[in-house]
Structure 1
């Protein structure tokens, strides 16, 4: 495989959006050389390099489930939107926001940004160590210029933000991984059962393993959580950044709402062919929005501004959406969403990791069976 992929064409405001544009090429997600799947390279000592987590880990158990291919994007987006420094960085620096202000944003721009999101993080979760390190370094470099003096013009006491700082880097990691766990527990059909929670020990193991991802991004070691109780305490410590605000989305310079500006621009520039881009956005970010929010912690719903009645309605919608969730994680739909929203590199990473993880689980079951036979 070559180190670089063909650059996809730039789709302008007046261009027709084609099926090829929606699928894109590796370049939409890839930065630098092609990612090497975990286990396909070796360390200096000759042992397989499984990257941050590896087969048999609880993170892989959660991430590799078909439900996560569909539900993770919405879960991550909603969870990161309520951490004020991240939302401020998006408001001030995201190219979509700049295009929205200029009236140049299209539905395809929104789709392309959405599909790029988690897919660019997948090499850090499913790649070998050099792959994970390369992508983390690249992201850190990009984020190093995402700084601002004002998080929220309505709450000046919050101060400023720095996307590459240990605080913001840690919360970027945690607001990717914690919602992944919550969405898995709410929507993943597994073990012949309807969606259900992991055991307390499994949940603690998941959080402990996520520590490796936090370290990769430069989090302060003393703050990295190892259990769900640690994570709860961390949320309490930084609660001021997770409060609902009606002014967070306003540009400090003009007071204009950046989300409304984005919407106006997409409506103004809409073409019939943009429906190709609108469909996956409608599925992942609109149709699933309420059920996914219902699966998140109550504090997340409060931070989104939901009343107690609205929050309860969101929780009910999570349960009502389970038949749809079951359908969406079936192979014929999951594969299409995987290719569209995670990219060709992402497909290869998922496929390779699923084989390794299944082998590790089978070996564990075999060992446990043999041990039980001996003790009997």
Structure 2
């Protein structure tokens, strides 16, 4: 792990080695690497030596390029590498946030066997990076973690971190505490930051400034007046959109969707670019009525969908691309939601030459069906 890529200034004299565990109901995962990749179009999460995005990749992109960027912790897209399966849910957010902050303070990500500190965390975070919600299935996650924790060094410190556990879960963790272990209850970003600094071995100088903080939820009087004005303007615009008729709204759905074809020299170059973060050539794909013609060759690496509108958008695919894409992290059979400005990368396992897929685009109660037609030679 190249901790200096995240931040050089706060690196302690002797870098701590910290293992960050991501327990799930299906097993135990671990953060393996975390590095800035300026050439990536957006932050991405993958497995070890894999170019394919994990199912949590879109959520990770929103966390890093949204809340962490607002905090000043993400100057460029990041590549998160995880060992083990993290399929869905949001309990990965807290351990991944801790990993970012631990590395930000100069520690090195390590395996359990080599770690000075081991941080086991589960739970989601809100837009201000505060732990939120009750941790679930804690007993099951502890069971999946027992084998890995048994491999720790005798002098390693183990911290079990979560927010607002139920009494039974708290008791289960206290029973599972190894020598040198502790239960850390996180009630806000400040407590997350305190744990990250302690794990990284950072000693706060008496004169140092407070760490950067995410925006507060409170609103001043001026902000409230501005919000009221926006609500009124939005209501007026909504009324005008109704008068404009349903057909106009339906055309606006795909008008807010930007599609780009990402290409490289050949298939090997596609894989290399996804693994190293090298730039891919982006070529816009035109939406011609209800048809989208996409050249499908060995040089076609992916399609990038971007919501350029002001409303939340959902995109979905039928099963026509089965075998050509990574199904577990695609909108095939389960639409993916894109917030305004958000992107989704549809990575091809193989060029879908000759296939036609049905793409649905929905926003503000309207839905449009488009035909993705892939043309070219294998």
Larger Rg: 2
The two structures have a TM-score, normalised by structure 1, of: 0.23
Bigger helix fraction: 1
Q: Which has the higher contact order (CA 8 A, sep 6+)?
A: 1
Bigger strand fraction: 2
